[in-house]
Chains A and B, each alone.
Chain A
Amino acid sequence: AGAFKERPAKPTAFRKFYERGDFPIALEHDTKGNKIAWKVEIEKLDYHHYLPLFFDGLCETTHPYEFFARQGVHDMLEHGGSKILPVIPQLIIPIKNALNTRNRQVVCTTLKVLQHLVVSGEMVGEALVPYYRQILPILNIFKNMNLNSGDGIDYSQQKRENIGDLIQETLEAFERHGGEDAFINIKYMVPTYESCMLN
């Protein structure tokens, strides 16, 4: 019925802001070592404004939007600490939109971002539990998406782009960092998930 079919992403607010030059980042043609040059210190950024915008850009698949959104999210999560937790409710819709595109590249990037998000600050993993209903349905659809290549080589495993494996890792990260209610809530949305902590 088309559950796996890609759905075209709508134009993102991230792209509009980027093209208008609203982000405090220096645009360079030689992105050395895949780095963003920030014009202001990340610690001084308004996370309520910028973090949801960068998350919105996760739907992008074209350069340079895709790179700046992915790397921007990474930098802000790595250096945000306690500023991330209060913004969680604003991140749910962009996360859901990105997963709903069902685009393999976008889903892979978003899963890696989710794994980073749960370890980015204290209580962030717990704060995500009430939103599992919105995030996990797509993970449930793609959970068994592993290539049966017989004795051939599946290169996506080396590149860490295998959706089935990434979903398993992500659910385990959710369970580890989501507190005591995490497992039962994951199980409710993804019935084939087995605990990585019990037993």
Chain B
Amino acid sequence: MQPKSMTRAKKWDEVVENAYRFQLAGYRDEEEYRSVKQVDSAEKWDNGFVKKLQRKDGCFYYYNKARECSDKDVPKTKLYNY
């Protein structure tokens, strides 16, 4: 499914945090990750943050339980609408 529009994040929240994590691993968002990897959802911490992602080249990225998307990363993070 292709997104209809994209906006840049203005301030940090949980949605932005997870979008940042997917984009660091080379995916638009969870939607794309699910369709590429054929999984139900990405592995997450109990606080809802993404824990582990497999990149398109097969390598794994591991994420912390705490916030990783710094203030300077927020405006670079893209939020897609379907």
A residues sitting closer than 8 Å to B (CB atoms) are 26, 32-33, 35-42, 75, 78-79
Name B22-76 residues within 8 Å CB distance of A: 24, 52, 55, 57-62, 64-65, 68, 73
List the A side residues contacting B62 at CB < 8 Å.
Answer: 35-36, 38, 42, 75, 78-79
CA distance A36 to B53 in the complex (A): 12
- Give A50 Cβ to nearest chain B Cβ, in Å: 14
Instruction: Count residues on chain B whose CB falls below 8 Å from chain A CBs.
Output: 13
- B24 close to A37 (CB less than 8 A): no
Please measure, in the bound complex, the distance between the C-alpha atom of A32 and the C-alpha atom of B61, giving whole angstroms.
10
Chain A residue at minimal CB-CB distance from B73: A33
**Can you list 22 A-B pairs, Cβ within 8 angstroms, ordered by A?**
A26-B57, A26-B59, A32-B24, A33-B24, A33-B68, A35-B24, A35-B61, A35-B62, A37-B55, A37-B59, A37-B60, A38-B61, A38-B62, A39-B60, A40-B60, A41-B52, A41-B60, A42-B60, A75-B62, A78-B64, A79-B52, A79-B62
Interface residues of B, Cβ cutoff 8 Å to A:
24, 52, 55, 57-62, 64-65, 68, 73
B24 contacts which chain A residues (CB < 8 A)? Answer: 32-33, 35
* For the complex of A and B, 3 pairs with smallest distance between CB atoms: A37-B59, A38-B60, A26-B59
- Looking at the assembled complex, report how far the CB atom of A67 sits from the nearest CB atom of chain B, in whole angstroms: 15
Contact partners of A41 in chain B: CB under 8 A: 52, 60
**CB <8 Å contact, B61 and A37:** yes
- CB contacts (< 8 Å) of A36 on chain B: these are 62
Q: Report the separation of the CA atoms of residues A33 and B53 in the bound assembly, to the nearest whole angstrom.
A: 14
